[in-house]
Amino acid sequence: SLGNDWISTASRPQDPCLSENGKIQISNQAILLQGKLEELGLNLSSIYSSPTIRCAQTSDLYANVTNVNSIKIEVGLVEEAKSFRGREEFEPRPNWNPLVLDKKDLYKYSNKVDMNYETMVNISWVKSDTARNNVQEIHQKDITISDPIHVSEFRIHELIFKIEKLLDTLEENSTILLVSHGAPVKYITTALNNGVLYGKALTGSFTGFAYDEHENEKNRWKPIFDEWQHSEYKGAECPK
C-alpha cells in the first residue's frame, strides 16, 4: 500500500500502484512463499491476479521469485464494489474511465500477463445512487439482488467452482496462486474452510489449501498452514 495518501496519488482512486515500500514487502513475501513451496514439494504453475494495478505488480514480483511465466488476469478476483473507494466524504469517487483495466492495459505493469487468457468469471458494474461510492456490482445470476455482500459472495462461489475444474487438469504436485484483495480473500478462505472464518490475514500475507477431488464437497478443501504466512518485514509506518 501507499499509506494514507494512496488514494490522492492515483489518477484512478480505486486503482493505485504499489509503493516502493509495498514492493519490498511483497518481494519478501515471495521469497517466503517459494521456501514454503519447496518444503511442500510443490511447483507453482500459474498466478491468477485481480485486474488492479497493485495486484498485477504483486503478481509480477511473485512470478519473478517463483519462476512463473504466466500471470492470468482473472476479473472474478477483483475487489468488491463497495470497497472501490469513495465510501467516505473525504475520498474521491472512483474513476469510471475505465473502472477496471483490461489485460492489455495491465501488460505495461507486467510483461508476464497472459494475453490469451479468458477470465473465468466476468463482472458488470453500474452507477447507483444507493451505493455510497456510486458503484454497484451486478449479481451473476439474479439482477434483482443488490446486497453487495451477497453479490460478492455469490461471485466468489462461482469462481471457486470453476477453479476446482481447473485444478483437475493440473499435473501432480502443481499448484496455483490467487492474488486478490481483503474482502474477496476473506470470502474465498471462508468458503474453503467450510464457512468458518480462517484466521486474520495481514496485509500481503498468504495461506494455502489442498484440494482433493475424491472427497465429498464438505471435506474437499483442507488448510495447509495453521495460520496466515507473512514475512517479518513490516515496512515503514503510514504517514500521518
pLDDT at 159 over 80: yes
Instruction: Report which DSSP code applies to 229.
Output: B
Q: What is the pLDDT of residue 148?
A: 93
Q: What is the pLDDT of residue 143?
A: 94
Q: Select the more confidently predicted residue: 3 or 174.
A: 174
Q: Which band of pLDDT confidence, cut at 50, 70 and 90, is reported for residue 234?
A: low
Q: Do strands 125-127 and 135-137 pair parallel, antiparallel, or not at all (unpaired)?
A: antiparallel
pLDDT at 27 over 90: yes
Q: Round to whole Å and give the CA distance between 204 and 210.
A: 20
Q: How far is CA 181 from the centre of its chain?
A: 4
Biggest alpha carbon–alpha carbon distance for the chain: 52
Instruction: Report which DSSP code applies to 23.
Output: H
Percent pLDDT > 90 in the chain is 73
pTM (two decimals): 0.92
Q: List, as one string, the DSSP characters of 86-153.
A: --STTSPPPP-TTSS--HHHHGGG-TTB-TT---SS---EEE-TTSTTSEEEPPSS-TT---HHHHHH
What are the C-alpha distances in Å from 24 to residues 178, 207, 232? 19, 19, 12
pLDDT in tens, 106-121: 999 999 999 999 999 9
Choice among 7-16, 67-76, 78-87, 224-233 with the minimum mean pLDDT = 7-16
Q: What is the pLDDT of residue 93?
A: 87
pLDDT at 191 over 80: yes
Nearest to 73 by CA among 37, 34, 47: 47
4: its cell numbers: 494514507
What are the C-alpha distances in Å from 162 to residues 22, 58, 90, 121, 159? 31, 23, 39, 8, 5
Q: Select the more confidently predicted residue: 199 or 151.
A: 151
Interior/surface letters 90-127, b for 16+ CB within 10 angstroms, e for the rest: ebebbbeeebbbebeebbebbebbbeeeebbbebebee
pLDDT at 19 over 70: yes
Choice among 13-22, 121-130, 159-168 with the minimum mean pLDDT = 13-22
Q: Round to whole Å and give the CA distance between 14 and 10.
A: 8
